[in-house]
Amino acid sequence: MDIIFAIEKPKFGGILEYPKMEISSGNTTFIQGASGAGKSTLLKLLNATLTPEEGEIYYEGKDISEMDTIELRKEVILIGQNVYLFDETIRENFRMYYAYRDLPAPDDETMKKYLKLCHADFRLEESCVRLSGGERQRIYIAICISFLPKVIMMDEPTSALDASTAGKVLGNLKAFCRENGITMIVVSHDEKLSEDYADEVITIERREN
């Protein structure tokens, strides 16, 4: 199995210090650890939303501090705990995110396919304004995954879902990512989900000062 991320002891914020870690290409890797251990920060370091003060991160063998961050973030998509959707319909949100990448919008059937994959099969005319936090996050995941990125990172993607829906969403996404060679990285507190879906688990220890 190829290594997609080699994480060489980055330090951040004066308090976070990560060990040497590797993430395999094409797998589903879960990141666990106590609250405040630095899980969300690690995801932000991996797509260069944050820059480490020391240490390096290599993506496909390249030091990400030397990469074009816009291009990196097209390949390595981060879905945070708060997602951004426009106050428009679901169809319009797809269109706007595609326009932002200078791509033609997918047809309705394609949009529906990705929404179904994420257990978000609402009508395309539905306004995103009225949807719940969990529903908005699933729609955003559907839009992101439709770009077929190389890596999709999700921060607590199922925290707003009941256990059965969470399992279905994760199961669908994992199968889709595997078929399409997409590496999936998930931060989750849910140990049952990780037991069921993780190929690899990385546990981050909180550093006590």
Largest CA distance in the chain: 53
Question: Is 41 among the residues that bind ligand ATP (CB under 6 A)?
Answer: yes
Torsion angle of the four alpha carbons 195, 75, 4, 120, in this order, in degrees rounded to the nearest 10: 10
Question: Is 160 among the residues that bind ligand ATP (CB under 6 A)?
Answer: no
Question: Is 95 among the residues that bind ligand ATP (CB under 6 A)?
Answer: no
Question: Is 46 among the residues that bind ligand ATP (CB under 6 A)?
Answer: no
Stretch that binds ligand ATP, among 35-43, 145-153, 166-174, 195-203 (CB under 6 A): 35-43
Residue 51 or 110 having the CB closest to ligand ATP: 51
Q: How far is the CB of 93 from ligand ATP (least distance, A)?
A: 26
Question: Is 10 among the residues that bind ligand ATP (CB under 6 A)?
Answer: no
Residue 127 or 159 having the CB closest to ligand ATP: 159
Q: How far is CA 65 from the centre of its chain?
A: 20
Which of 63, 66, 58 is closest to 20 using CA atoms?
58
Kindly tell me which residue out of 6, 25, 33, 56 binds ligand ATP, with binding defined by CB under 6 A: 33
Q: Return the half-sphere exposure (C-beta side, CA atoms, 13 A cut-off) of residue 32.
A: 13
Residue 76 or 111 having the CB closest to ligand ATP: 76
Question: Is 39 among the residues that bind ligand ATP (CB under 6 A)?
Answer: yes
- CA torsion sign for 169, 154, 184, 31 is negative
Q: Identify whether the C-beta of residue 29 lies closer than 8 Å to the C-beta of residue 22.
A: no
Q: How far is the CB of 5 from ligand ATP (least distance, A)?
A: 16
Q: Quickly count: other Cβ atoms within 10 Å of residue 179's Cβ.
A: 8
